Amino acid sequence: MSADRTAGGKVLAVLAAFSRERPALTLSELARATGMPLSTAHRVVAELREWGALERGPDGRLRIGLRLWALGALAPRGLGLREAALPFMEDLYEVTHQNVQLAVRDDTEVVFVERIAGWDAVPVHTQVGGRFALPPTGVGLVLLAHAPAEVQERVLAGPLQRHTPYTLTDPRLLRQVLAEVRRTGVAVSDRQVTTDAVSVAAPITAGDDVVAALSVVVRGESPAAVRALTPGVRAAARGISRELGRAAAGTWPVDRGKGVSG
């Protein structure tokens, strides 16, 4: 939001002004949103447009450009991961016709990287690129269970938001659940986000690190709803892990506790 003092910061501030809620902005809106003078915004935007980071539609509004999208596609935790995972997710979807989700952890949040859903599946309010708290979701439980201790502590210490009567908010209980997740290799989220959905998730690994999680979300009112799906999810997750190992060398990062600069 606040206009950076630095030149590069302004470039980033302009980009940061775009969000899921506001994917298209006029120059003036952009200037207001970033708090920078119109002429400054204009100059920065011109540079970004020339490069292809921003595009201007026929309505005159600015949008994220195709080049930036393609660049983002190079993120190993974005499309790289997705590329490896999609065929397995397809299989899972074809069998279940339910929501199939792929997610990674970013600090104390889960970021959804891919989601397949038919029209008949339970409506879930996750979107690709979207974020959510870790504890209530299946994928989040998996990712949290295998996160560095320091991250776990911060999550357990912080306020745990309640979404339904079933949401776990007791740190002690949550700790037990996480241990269970580590022991069994799967996580089940029973109506913790909405009262009509249950999910089962399994970890995806690269080397010794858990780099992502895969889940299936179904309509249901008890863990039994996903029991039959568990083997399928585990198998798919392992398949993806294997595929990742096969991928080109040096493509795989690991997620460390906090993204602070060194």
Partner DNA sequence: GATCGTCTCCCGTCAGGCGGAAGGGCACTG
Partner DNA sequence: CAGTGCCCTTCCGCCTGACGGGAGACGATC
Length of the chain measured in residues: 262
DSSP string, 133-175: ESTTSHHHHHHHHTS-HHHHHHHHHS-----STT----HHHHH
223 binds a copy of itself (CB under 8 A): no
Structure tokens at 154: 């911060």
- Across the beta sheet with 54-56, what order do the strands follow? 24-25, 62-64, 54-56
20 binds a copy of itself (CB under 8 A): yes
Residue 157 to residue 237: CA distance in whole angstroms: 30
Do 231 and 204 meet the contact criterion of CB atoms below 8 Å apart? no
Q: Choosing among DNA, a copy of itself, none, which partner's interface includes residue 48 (Cβ < 5 to 8 Å by kind)?
A: a copy of itself
| CB of 26 or CB of 222, closer to DNA | 26
Candidate list 14, 44, 85, 226; residue touching DNA; CB under 7 A = 44
Candidate list 12, 38, 70, 228; residue touching DNA; CB under 7 A = 38
9 binds DNA (CB under 7 A): yes
8 binds DNA (CB under 7 A): yes
261 binds DNA (CB under 7 A): yes
Do 187 and 145 meet the contact criterion of CB atoms below 8 Å apart? yes
94 binds a copy of itself (CB under 8 A): yes
228 binds a copy of itself (CB under 8 A): no
Q: C-beta of 30: minimal distance to DNA in Å?
A: 8
Residue 209 to residue 203: CA distance in whole angstroms: 10
| CB of 248 or CB of 260, closer to DNA | 260
208 binds a copy of itself (CB under 8 A): no
28 binds a copy of itself (CB under 8 A): no
Paired with 64 in beta bridges are 54
Q: By the criterion CB under 7 A, which residues form the site for DNA?
A: 3, 5-10, 26-29, 36-40, 42-46, 60, 261-262
